[in-house]
Amino acid sequence: AAKERGGRHRAYTPDLDTRAGEQARLAAELRTALEAGQLSLAYQPIVSLPEGRVVSVEALLRWTHPERGAISPAEFIPVAEETGLVVELGAWVLRTACAQAVTWRRAFGATAPERMSVNVSVRQLAEPTFAGVVAEVLAWTGLSARDLIVEVTETAVFDGGQALRTVKALHELGVRVALDDFGTGHSSLGLLQTVPVDIIKVDKSFVDRVTQAGRHAVIATALIQVSNGLGLTAVAEGVETADQAAELHRLGYRFAQGYHFGKPVAEPDFGAALTRA
C-alpha cells in the first residue's frame, strides 16, 4: 500500500509512489496545466537604489494545482526542462509577460516599469529557434527589444555553443541578457570572459549577510567592482531589510530587488501598486 506522507497526499499506486513517479505525474499534469489556465505570472519590482523608483519588473511563473495548491517553480521548472515542455511553457511566459508590459505602458505611461525581465531556461537558449521566437513575440506584442531582459541561470551548458549563439542573436535584436544567481555557479567569473551579458544578478546568498563585516560583504564589494569594470549593470537579489538596501547602496549598487521593496504579486495587484506610487 502507498505510504502517507504528512497525511497531505492521497494514496498512490506503489509504482507511482516514488520520486520518479512523482516527477512523471508532475510532467503529465504540467502539460494540461497550461491549457487548463492553472499557470499564471507574478510580478516583482526591481528598483533603483538612489531613487527608490521601480525601473523594471521580473515575471515569475506560478502554478496553482487544483488539488495541491501552489507548486513552486523551483520544483516544476526542472521537470519541464527534462521533458522539453519548458520550450512551449517558456514561449507562453514570454508572450504573457511582454503583453503585460505593453498593457502597463498604455495604462500608466511614464510611471510604468521601463523593462520586463523574463526567466529563460538554458534548455530554451539551446533551441536554435529561440531568438526567432523572441523576435516574433516582440512583433506580436509591440514591446521594443530594448525593454526586454532575458534572465538566464548560469550553467556549464553555455559551453555547448548554441546557447552562446542565441545570446549573440538576442543582442542583435537589441534584447539584454542577465546572468541570474550570479556568484553561485561553478564558473561565474569564467562565464563573464566568454558570454557577452549585460547584467549580473548578484545572488541572495551574498546579500543576506552584506551588513555583517566579513567574507559576504567582501565578495559583494568585489562583484560590484567586476560589474563596473566590465561596464555591466549589477542587480542585488533577495534584499529583505532596509539595512541591506542601505549597505548595498553604499557599496555602489544601483539596482536591487527583494521582499523589502515588494514581493512577487499577480496582476491586477501589481498595477494597483503602480497607481498608488
Site of interaction with ligand C2E (CB under 6 A): 44, 60-61, 72-74, 77, 86, 90, 93, 119-121, 151, 153, 180-181, 238-240, 258-259, 264
Beta carbon nearer to ligand C2E, 140 or 259: 259
Beta carbon nearer to Ca ion, 158 or 272: 158
Which residues are CB-contacts of 135 (< 8 A; sequence separation ≥ 6)? 173
Which range, of 37-45, 114-122, 142-150, 191-199, touches Ca ion by CB under 5 A? 114-122
Residues 64, 72 contacting (CB under 8 angstroms): no
Extract the runs of DSSP E, i.e. beta strands, from the chain.
Answer: 39-48, 53-65, 69-71, 115-120, 148-153, 176-182, 199-202, 233-236, 255-257, 265-266
Which one among 29, 127, 180, 198 touches Ca ion, defined by CB under 5 A? Answer: 180
* Interaction pattern, residues 41-80, with Ca ion; x per rule: CB under 5 A: ----------------------------------------
Which one among 96, 100, 119, 166 touches Ca ion, defined by CB under 5 A? Answer: 119
72 interface partner picked from ligand C2E, Ca ion, none, CB below 5 to 8 A per type: ligand C2E
User: Does 155 interact with Ca ion (rule: CB under 5 A)?
Assistant: no
User: Does 100 interact with Ca ion (rule: CB under 5 A)?
Assistant: no
CA gyration radius for the chain?
20
User: Does 181 interact with Ca ion (rule: CB under 5 A)?
Assistant: yes
Phi-psi map region of 241: left, alpha, beta (phi>0 left; psi -120 to 50 alpha)? beta
Residues 143, 174 contacting (CB under 8 angstroms): no
* Percentages (nearest 5) of helix, strand, coil residues in the chain: 50, 20, 30
